[in-house]
Amino acid sequence: MGKFGIGQSVRREEDPRLLTGRGLYVNDVNLPQQTYAYFLRSPHAHAEIKSIDVTAAKAAPGVHAVFTGPDVAADGLGYPGMPAKWKRPDGDPMKYRPQPPLAIDRVRYVGDPVAMVVAETLHQARDAAELIDVDFNSLPSITDTATTLDADAAVIWDDGPDNIVGLFQSGNADAAEAALAGAARVIKRRFVISRVFANYIEPRGAIGDYDPREDRYTLHADVQYPHRVRQVLAEKVFKIPEQNIRVVSRDVGGGFGTKGWQYIEHRLTLWASRKVGRPVKWSSERSEAIQSDEHGRDNVTDAELAFDADGKIVGLRVRTIANIGAYLSAIRNLLSVFSNVGTLIGVYNVPAAHVAVTSVHSNTSPTAPYRGAGRPEATYVIERMFDEAARELGIDPAELRVRNMIVPEDMPVKTALGLTYDCGEFLANQTQALKMADYAGFEARKAEASARGMLSGIGIANPIERSASPSPDFSEVRFSTDGTVTILMGTKSQGQGHETVYKQIVSDRLGLESEDIRVIDGDTDRVAFGIGTMGSRSTVIGGSALHNAAGKIEEKARKIAAHQLEASEADIEFSGGVFRVSGTDSEISLKDVAKASFLPAKLPKGVEPGLIETATFAPEDDTYPNGSHVCEVEIDPETGTVEIINYNVVDDVGVMINPTIVKGQIHGGIAQGVGQILMEQVAYDPKSGQLLSGSFMDYAMPRADNFGPMTIAANEVPTARNPLGVKGAGEAGTVGAMPALMNALMHALSEVGVTDLEMPATPDRIWRAIRDVPV
């Protein structure tokens, strides 16, 4: 392993370019003769559209076109489709209710797009949109998840009077019922997991460009999986061959799942470009983003955790209401609902379990994966239940977890919710994290804080997540005639450090210097295939594909090297980028082999010229990153202000390609988890359905002064499910941070009698919870 190989904490190679303003984000892209789009969005949570008059807008200066829902419908644009065939609780099929690109007859949430203006400048488009006269008839709305199923709740869809979308179940209902019925103790709690929004550095954007000479569309957009966006646009929306669409995604500016798939602005900018005969650019404004983009989380969960007389779990039952918003446009609106409920088991021996998730519509923006995509929600429930159970049972929270942990000797283990954990040292994680946090010394620190009038709490969470679910991804290693190499990846970076990590994998395998390697992603015309980046899959699957492609390069280069060195292939050794004849000083570098590969006269018989190889890797099963978080807080009971005193993490993400980048991912994930617990929330007025948190004036974001010291350690347990032994690191921080922090808060507040607190735990809520404790 060289200085730039696997396991080295080398600096991110992307950063100098990004930090000096040389990034190329979608809003930096400008095409000749481009026009600008602006969307008029609904000011109502729920209303009928009685009429739309666009006459004045069309006559406004610089306007090329004004489009409404019927205009789009007349051209027959399709929808992404719904492969999931769920049932409703009554046994009827789930109804597919996709969002129209522009509303027809009715709007169903604040921000629902109503009209699209295309003009010479953005200001002209915005001014023209103000001239559109829409006659709305306001209707009753419902935005609160817990009350969507009430008999008197407003109805979002006339053919769905109970607002239920579908029911997903996992586990054995009869076994769980029997376990709870025979348990010595059953702990019951309700948890509300609030709705949040991914506030990335750059809001979304899109440029649609139709070329009539080639009858071909090009979309420039900040998407996380360009090839899948192309597939949906071609097959489902425009119903044309995939080769007739190109999708280009350069620097993304943060994604977190929310920039994943196909938004209505993508298809409309392409469609409008064909209509007006020029490129059409749309850039979301910051205040528009929280209306136009998909949101995350928003669950109400009732959980029951049953124990025997010795504090061993005998059963788990969970019932969740998951708010997916006004529309069901694609499978991504359901991914967080079902794909990670299996991790409700956590890292514990749970012999019987059953989960039922009822997805519902409401007059809110659609929800979709947001950093963790169901993992934080699942871990929050099981880890909060452990602390609640520990208080009721009178057992230390750490000890209760120890009694119930899955041990390495039992692996692989198939859980009661159907997942198969292959490896992990869960007890070792917690033991190390508790030692780092000086858990044994907490009582002394608590006494000292109490003397200062502060409330102290310490919280534990042992997250496990289902990552890198089986699906293929692609890599190409392409040498040039000068011996330099280009890597083409089917994954798509959004700031995670892919360029550096992929170079490290190739450097480790082939012994090349970083400056001789170039990484390309995000362009469907340059990269042959890809699924994209989400769910902590890029290094696990994309990196494994790259590792295998590099292996093919080595195999072919060895044949050429043997021919050049006039030796038997069996006598050739390869190390540090150099082929050597065993036992001699005869050698040739890989770069020189690559140069020779393009000269037929220098090749052995039967070897094809060039040194270019591809590989596609698809794992047979998921990986399971896991760890232990310990958070210590102090609360000022006079103000409700929270201070994080210390935060310690032990994470097992398998083999770390670059430990510094892994720690950065965990830092960022913790920040998003802490943000959700302490301050972040998408809030709607319960009566009008109006969005109350439409800007950073109302949607609070964590800052550096919201955090205390953060220490991260690793317990690398390689998985055998991919050749690199990696498990994924992108969501790890968020998954553990939410329950660890809330457990710490509740531990502190329990001293003054507070037994329930919903997120976000703002100073006002904490102060009121303390004040309202019965004397």
Checking if the pLDDT of 248 tops 50, the result is yes
Distance CA 149, CA 155 (A): 10
β-sheet bridge partners, residue 167: 87, 358
pLDDT for 628-671, tens place per residue?
999 999 999 999 999 999 999 999 999 999 999 999 999 999 99
Contact 298, 194 (CB under 8 A): yes
Element (H, E) at 127: helix 122-129
pLDDT of residue 261: 79
pLDDT of residue 1: 41
Checking if the pLDDT of 376 tops 90, the result is yes
| Sequence letter at residue 639 | T
β-sheet bridge partners, residue 575: 578
Average pLDDT over residues 567-582: 95
Average pLDDT over residues 436-459: 98
String of b and e for 18-55 (b: at least 16 CB within 10 Å)?
Answer: beeeebebbbebebeebbbbbbbbbbbbbbebeebebe
Contact 353, 417 (CB under 8 A): yes
**Average per-residue pLDDT in the chain?**
96
Question: Does residue 599 sit in helix, strand or coil?
Answer: coil
Contact 256, 264 (CB under 8 A): no
Checking if the pLDDT of 2 tops 60, the result is no
Q: What is the CA 698 to chain-centroid distance, rounded? A: 24
- Kindly state the DSSP code that residue 200 receives in the 8-state scheme: -
Q: What 3 state SS string does 211-237 have?
A: ECCCCEEEEEECCCCHHHHHHHHHHHH
Q: Strand locations in 341-410, DSSP E?
A: 353-360
String of b and e for 128-144 (b: at least 16 CB within 10 Å)?
Answer: bbebbebebeebebbbe
DSSP result, 654-677: BS-S-HHHHHHHHHHHHHHHHHHH
pLDDT band at residue 732, thresholds of 50, 70 and 90? Answer: confident
pLDDT for 55-86, tens place per residue?
999 999 999 999 999 999 999 999 999 999 99
Strand 353-360, strand 313-323: pairing: parallel
pLDDT of residue 134: 98
Strand 245-248, strand 216-221: pairing: parallel
pLDDT of residue 181: 98
Average pLDDT over residues 570-587: 95
**Of the candidate ranges 445-449, 492-496, 555-559, the one whose mean pLDDT is the lowest:** 492-496
Contact 369, 336 (CB under 8 A): yes
Average pLDDT over residues 550-574: 96
pLDDT of residue 363: 98
Distance CA 627, CA 635 (A): 26
pLDDT for 111-141, tens place per residue?
999 999 999 999 999 999 999 999 999 999 9
Average pLDDT over residues 553-574: 96
What pTM, to 2 d.p., does this model score?
A: 0.96
Average pLDDT over residues 246-274: 94
pLDDT for 697-730, tens place per residue?
999 999 999 999 999 999 999 999 999 999 999 8
pLDDT for 393-403, tens place per residue?
999 999 999 99
Checking if the pLDDT of 775 tops 90, the result is no
Checking if the pLDDT of 234 tops 70, the result is yes
Checking if the pLDDT of 386 tops 70, the result is yes
Among 193, 90, 89, residue whose Cα is nearest residue 145: 193
pLDDT of residue 698: 93
The sign of the dihedral angle between the CA atoms of 264, 267, 271, 272 is positive
Checking if the pLDDT of 37 tops 60, the result is yes
Checking if the pLDDT of 3 tops 80, the result is no
Strand 485-489, strand 517-520: pairing: parallel
